[in-house]
Structure 1
Amino acid sequence: MFLASSPKPIDANLKEMADKIEQQSPGLSVLTARQFRYSVSQVTVEVTISEPRKFNVLEEFILRAGIELEPPPSVDELATVLGLDPVFVQNTTRTLRSLQTLAWTTNGSIALTPQGRQFYEQGSVPQPPQTKEIYAITDPLNSNLFFIASPLEATNIDLPELENFMAIENRSPDIDSLLIEEFQQIIQASSLGLHDPKEGKILTEASIIDEPTNIWQAISIFAIYDLLEDKINLQVRRGKQVLEYPSNYLDILQEAGMFSLQDFFSISEETIANERHLLMEARNAEVEARIEKIDRIAIENVLEIRTNPKPNKPALTVEAGSVILLRDSQIRTAFLDTLKLARQEILIFSPWVSEEVIDDQFIKLLENIAKQGVAVLIGYGIARKPEEEERQITPTLQQKLLGIKTPDGLPAVQIFWLGNSHAKEVVVDRKIHLCGSHNFLSYRGDRLPRGETVYKVTIPEQVQEAYEFLASRFNKQAQKLWKNALKMRDDRSAEAAICVWGALSMEQEALKQLEQNKWLELLPIWLKLVFYGLKSKKISPDAEYFYTALSLLKEFSVEDANIELLREGWQKVIGAIATSNREAALNLITAEIWSQFTRLGIAHSPIDSPDKFISKYTVIQKPLEKSIKNKSKTDTSKKKK
């Protein structure tokens, strides 16, 4: 929730959507939102489709007789053998001849055409072509052309016309100049099921049969202030759907100074500045409120001890958690010890980052953490913009941090300028939260005490609040990285984004993005992250997204450049799942998935069953009791010596 501000110019019927945007994404504020109308062009297109059908039993028998029997029988001879009325067989052969499957012969024998032999091998024969009417929509705002099965209805929309406020450059394909191959591609992408070569359904002709008609469409444009980026983004929506192309186009125009918020939305600079100020105050108030709550709990604990030094009630359990106050020289030791406890992820925000704290010893600590597959996300920055930072992180230090990798070569430490915050916070494995006045990454605190304090919090509710606050900021960075990666098709940025999502337990989001954007060559990176997540118990072995990931195997080929990484990735992941829950692993490897495993070489002979495959890659864990006994014997022998 944000602090109250002056009324913002938001159309009444967009108020609910604006509220949802703000509620779903903390740090966003809809400054203004308006509805407009613009026109799309609709034209009727008649298409011709050639589609095969499977042979019926008699047709298949006739063709088989023509291929396998020597000499080929006549129609009457075949009817006698089958015990059928010759008229029935004659009608069927006549149909096959009309489909260019059988040839006419002088003696009436059955003879297949070359095309007929091909049809027989395929098990299907073309049907007479069908014609259908579909509707081509040219959308200038989205710069695209698509087809629909039913026409859009012409309606009168009483809204301001978008073209009165901005020029719309139509970059859609010109339907009048499309080749048949282009028709096929666009119609196939429109998911009408009219052109599907894999199913033998081919669109052979397309012709425009009427004049174009303009149809009004309603859209909404939102101006959204993003506190984390200190930036106003423009978002175009049709209903609940965000239209990416026009949204990006308007952002480009705005950045180039070719789009005026004031003119377009009738919003003043004062309103924008006021909203920015209120949002910053709200975010700082949120952090301060969390710290105050922790402060109150700590004070209550101290008062409890003073008034009742020997309480009858038991001490706080691990589940209930506690708040411990640390001072000066205690802080750095507790900070380093807390980092060493990490098994899953570490989130740190410190306004400044210096080489005094991140020295060789600290780098070594991070390297040791990375060996266990722990992800470390570091945020820093106190100014509103990176270039306004008075104490910049040095390129050398940044490279040292980014050079820390997991054993599989993935980025283990990622550092981002987040800015706009005085907070000093550390969250480890969502179990421990350090917060207070100490700058964790710019001041050691163990040399010259200056009265600083830090709370070590293990109360689940408080830790979770801190985690969610930091996670939302890092997720924003992942989204930016991914957006840039898609734009530039940059593997490195994509890998970084996937690793941030992995650190934030957003593996499902990463998988969804890989699938939606057809970037499956990066799936081995996802598998590496999932493997570490399974090992650290961060990921459940029966997570639903494993089924989705396995279903993507059909998109791969043994010739793919990354096939070895894919094989190794799935072998490790299935092994890690089985180590935790063998039944879950067996449930994943259905007959269909097993066929993909063998096709792609993920499973090799002589492994001839899912059970043997799972056994090969399952890590057998030593019983805890046995290892404790062995340790005790070792300790005893040492004492005797």
Structure 2
Amino acid sequence: MSAGLDFDIEQVSRPGFKLAHFKDAALPVYQLTVKVLTLEKKPINPIEEGCLRAIDAGLGRTSEIREFLGLEDVVLTTVLASLNSQELINYMGASDGEATASLTLKGRAAVDLAHMSVPEERIIKLMFDPFLKRVVFHQSGLLWKAKEVRSEGKMEVPLCGAKRPEIEDVLLEDIDAALERLRRPNEDSKELLAIRRIERREMLFVPCTMLYFRSETGNETQVAFYLDNRISVEHENSFRDLGGMDEVGAKHVLADQFSEVVNQAALGQSEKSQLLHLQNLTGGISTEVKSEDTLPTPVVNPTLKNIRCHEHPGLLEDALINSKERLMIISPWIRHQVVTDRFVRNLETLLRNGIKVYIGYGLVDEDGKNKAGGKLAITPKADRDLKDLEKRFKNFTFTFIGNTHRKVLVSDSRYAITTSFNWLSFKGDPRDKPRDEAGIYITKSDYIDSTFTDCLDLIQRGYAH
């Protein structure tokens, strides 16, 4: 047994790679509360069975059935009407005023088996794995809630764009298998007719060990998951295909920077230069003189600093990942090209950790239409994603202001930025055509607090002259 591991390294060894790092982690699964429609087999009560057997014996007129069974007219009429509604008999009037009855195919089967099939709605609980995209089975006592994962210091494996399940994602054969597992001894199996709806989704976590491997000869890295006493190849392949390796810092294995990279799980290689610039901006990296031709540029962590267009995306990324208490974003427009699935995942992580998040947006025409110069305030996908978070988290305030042209970002008491950069509608990619945007980055606590308070007032009461 290797120190810190619940298994021998030989168990997980792979040719051409060596285990470079491991981390206690937790894979997300959804516990679904689902309403389904099943076909239940129920015993026929004695009077109904007597009527069916009488009809099967050739007694078709109601007077014949009544005399044979010795039933009152009102009782027989009620029973025959019930059997007709269950499609067990054909119950018809006659020209002489006396009704007749005959068995349907369903009625004949009920006579043979002494039971009838009745549609019935029921509620069942399922576990759905967003990486495997199917129903899975876990012992409920071994699953953790997000709070328990954090308290134990485990890493929540990011969803990496894996969507929460909808009805169409749950296969009928998976429901059938779940119903079979839930069936009591000596209970008849139930036929599944349809999935009505998903009543509730709760994210739980399966404890695992996340393993980082690196090539012995090149730069290739791999991430694997050890759970249920084995490496799950399915989870490994799905996680890789979803781009998860970048999100948990697999590309940084060669630099042996795991403690920082795993804590900054949402940062990929493409953001590395922005992160390095951000650390310079906030005083996180000191500048050394490399040669006589290089001028010293000491960082003094200034209270006030000008920032350019290409510096904004890194700051927004930092705020989404590192805010600990509060996050404020004011942006006239919101686009799904900026509020991407990854942005939404990072925002959801903040909300799950209890951070208060405020987003205010919206600039409309003078006639009150939700457009300014023909430009929508928010694209439909971004609107759906953010409103979904607002419904699920009480610590998220998402407000349409309607007449704001402010562009503000506030993260905790670390910094406030007032700028011309549209935070949630412009990517600011340095590879695109240059665009002049400038902002003021401030770290003075009094100004940060006053900026936050002013923006909060704007969100709560709007702006008026």
The answer to whether TM tops 0.5 is no
By percentage of residues, which structure has more helix? Answer: 1
TM superposition score category, shorter chain reference: 0.3 to 0.5
TM-score of the superposed pair, with normalisation by structure 1 = 0.29
Higher relative contact order (CA 8 A, sep 6+): 2
Structure with more strand by fraction: 2
**TM-score, L = length of structure 2:** 0.38
